[in-house]
Amino acid sequence: MFLAVHAAVGAVAGNAVNNPLAAFTLGFISHFFTDMVPHGDEGMYQGYKSGSKVVRALLYVGMDALATVVLIVLIFLKQDFFSTANVALGIIGGVLPDLLVGIAEVMKPKGRRWLYRKFDDFRCFHMRNHHFFIGHFRRGQKDIPLKYGLMLQATALAILMKVIF
């Protein structure tokens, strides 16, 4: 799922509650629910892992990160929400799971077995959420085609932008 979608959902979640811890927690939990929606980037992730599509995957992540930064700036320029801190914590909670998986992928903390196992357990849990619905509906296939995933995510982001703005 686009980081921008996770950030937007986190912002909505953070704005919906009156408690900073609840804002972060809702943002964090929302990440896993939004990842359950098929989003078409499984092939890119597998290509990155195998080394065959590293440049393409990094370009995708870079463009997504840039779009996320722009979205966050626009959200905070609006400043028409219940609590700026809660919105910020909702956004942080919403994107943190992908950041943790990314850190684990890049750092590969192999020298510290306990830490590596914990990161790997989290990564496995994270990936199970990606396959939650798709495994039931597309027997044997892990994801939908990327073009449909991009359209679905763009639609979700447009709806969230309408809610936020």
SS3 68: helix
Domain of 138 in residue numbering reads as: 3-164
Phi and psi at 131, nearest 5°, equal: -100, 5
pLDDT in tens, 79-126: 777 789 999 999 999 999 999 988 877 777 666 678 778 888 888 888
Distance in angstroms (rounded) separating the CA atoms of residues 30 and 108: 26
Distance in angstroms (rounded) separating the CA atoms of residues 162 and 165: 5
Number of separate domains in the chain: 1
pLDDT in tens, 129-145: 877 777 666 565 667 88
Q: At CB < 8 A and 24+ separation, what contacts does 80-84 make?
A: 81/11, 81/14, 81/15, 82/15, 82/18, 83/14, 83/15, 83/18, 83/20, 83/23
Q: Hey, which of 32-36, 41-45, 123-127 has the most confident mean pLDDT? A: 32-36
Give the residue from 83, 70, 98 showing the smallest Cα distance to 14.
83
| Predicted structure pTM score | 0.87
Using 50, 70 and 90 to split pLDDT, how confident is the model at 55? confident
